[in-house]
Amino acid sequence: MARSTLFVLALLSAAIAASANPLWEDEDVADTEQQMDEPDIDQGNEIDPDDVNLNAHNDELKLSGLLENPELFEGDIENVNASDLEGRNAINDPTRKWNKLIVPYVISHQYSSSSRQTILQGMQEYHKRTCIKFVAKTNERDYIFIRPGTGCSSSVGRQGGRQDVSLGNGCVIPGIVVHELMHALGFWHEQSRPDRDKYVSINWSNIPSRLRHNFMKFSHGEVDTLRLPYDIGSVMHYGAYDFAINRRQETVKSKVKSSSMGQRRGFSKLDVQKVNKLYRCNMGKRDFMDD
């Protein structure tokens, strides 16, 4: 009888502990989402590229690892399989674009204030340079939920309902925030473009065979280049050592002179042009990269 009582007490204790520490993965737990007032975006400081030094080889390898989840397509893209991509490219499908240029968002309460500041910095870059506005969710059905999941990941384009953007350990730096939000807006990785072989070569022998699908190219019918040039300096471009077997040998080698391939500081000029062109932003003649 005593053992039975102890067992019941143990179960009750476990249940109480679980209720006191709700899992953020459970969408139905009220404590998982913290709606923030829209003015909070203005609390984020502007991104200073000098504050993010990512040129060193070791830093580039660290960033590569963050975006190399073998369970996700191209390392950080959710809700897509390599075998069923045709017709699913968000930037070729107007139903995957966000309505009225507005992206409602919720940020998990589990982030520290400094991490929240960095996330807001990333959103602020869109506000400064594009017509996209991230707005704190009220009663909208479609929205992004930014949470500290496993690694860095996002779906491509609007999915409908809640869609998660994961910014886990090591992912909360300005350029990765911009990168994952650009996925959410509807952009694939730059080196997936059909014209990529003019600008980079792929070292297939240094890529595990089970991960080579991450380096496939899309056809012109699957991806819209928006008639803009290939951008080796895009925040959406793979780095030189992504998915490498031997981390001292490149998997992606640039054919053009560039020191910015795989950078995660933030937008390139062409990144800004692409967002504005996809969403038909009327930004006038002002160069929003010179602010």
Residues annotated within the binding site for Zn(2+) are 179, 183, 189
Encode 36-58: b = buried (16+ Cβ within 10 Å), e = exposed: beeeebeebeebeeeebebeeee
Q: Identify whether 180 is a catalytic site residue.
A: yes
Q: 143-147 and 162-167: which strand pairing?
A: parallel
Strands (E), 10-56: none
In Å, how far are 7, 13, 111 from 4, measured between CA atoms?
5, 14, 41
Please count the helices (runs of H) and the strands (runs of E) in the chain: 5, 7
Tokens of 64: 């590569």
Catalytic-role residue among 60, 180, 190, 250: 180
Q: How far apart are CA 119 and CA 121, in angstroms?
A: 5
Report, as residue numbers or ranges, the catalytic residues: 180
